[in-house]
């Protein structure tokens, strides 16, 4: 995995709204990236799909001791973006996190469920060790075995972010990634 932190420029911020979110004409737009024309979708930082893409990102699962989530996505890219969002949404109030820095992440695995586990574990490790919070997850390329993404967020600031939730680890218990008729669905249990 490669992590690269990039300070946002004034030009970047001038194109965003005052909370560091992407311009409204960028949200929900299918775009092509520089890596072979792979499509990506820029999702809103508020946890909602843009107009025409109304769908719940995730929902909690009934679980006695740990945190269980069912995650949805119209595409595999959206599923992984929503999984990252769900993780950080359960750690902090994402409306307080600004998009001041970006980090690029690459993970690979032999199967989609293992890829989800590695993706969430990398995000959790970055949060735990470097104390970074992410609010937007831009999946640049995703397949059943590889994922390249750009994460947008900032370093933890106790005065703005307050107390954080605790997630110790991503578990393999009931872990699944499934393609359904209406998109993708994943299930993950976190040790809290």
Query: According to the model, what pLDDT value does residue 137 have?
Result: 96
Q: How far apart, in whole angstroms, are the C-alpha atoms of residue 89 and residue 3? A: 21
Q: How far apart, in whole angstroms, are the C-alpha atoms of residue 4 and residue 28? A: 25
Q: How far apart, in whole angstroms, are the C-alpha atoms of residue 115 and residue 120? A: 9
What does the pLDDT look like over 124-183, one tens digit per residue? Answer: 999 999 999 999 999 999 999 999 999 999 999 999 999 899 999 999 999 999 999 999
- Ordered domains of the chain (ranges, CATH): 6-191 (3.55.10.10)
Burial of 36 (0-12, 13-18, 19+ CB in 10 A): exposed
What is the model's pTM?
Answer: 0.74
Provide φ and ψ at 82, rounded to 5°: -70, -35
């Amino acid at each position: 995995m490669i992590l690269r932190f990039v300070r946002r420029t004034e030009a970047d911020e001038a194109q965003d709204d005052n909370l560091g979110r992407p311009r409204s004409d960028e949200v929900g737009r299918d775009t092509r990236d520089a890596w072979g024309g792979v499509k990506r979708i820029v999702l809103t930082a508020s946890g909602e799909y843009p107009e025409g893409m109304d769908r719940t990102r995730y929902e909690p699962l009934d679980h006695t001791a740990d945190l269980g989530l069912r995650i949805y996505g119209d595409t595999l890219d959206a599923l992984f973006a929503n999984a990252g969002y769900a993780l950080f949404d359960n750690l902090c109030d994402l409306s307080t996190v600004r998009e001041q820095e970006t980090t690029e992440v690459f993970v690979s695995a032999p199967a989609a469920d293992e890829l989800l586990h590695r993706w969430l574990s990398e995000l959790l490790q970055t949060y735990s060790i470097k104390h970074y919070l992410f609010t937007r997850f831009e999946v640049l390329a995703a397949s059943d075995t590889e994922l390249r993404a750009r994460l947008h967020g900032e370093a933890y600031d106790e005065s703005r972010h307050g107390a954080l939730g605790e997630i110790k680890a991503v578990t393999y218990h009931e872990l699944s990634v499934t393609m359904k008729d209406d998109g993708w669905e994943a299930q993950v249990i976190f040790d809290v």
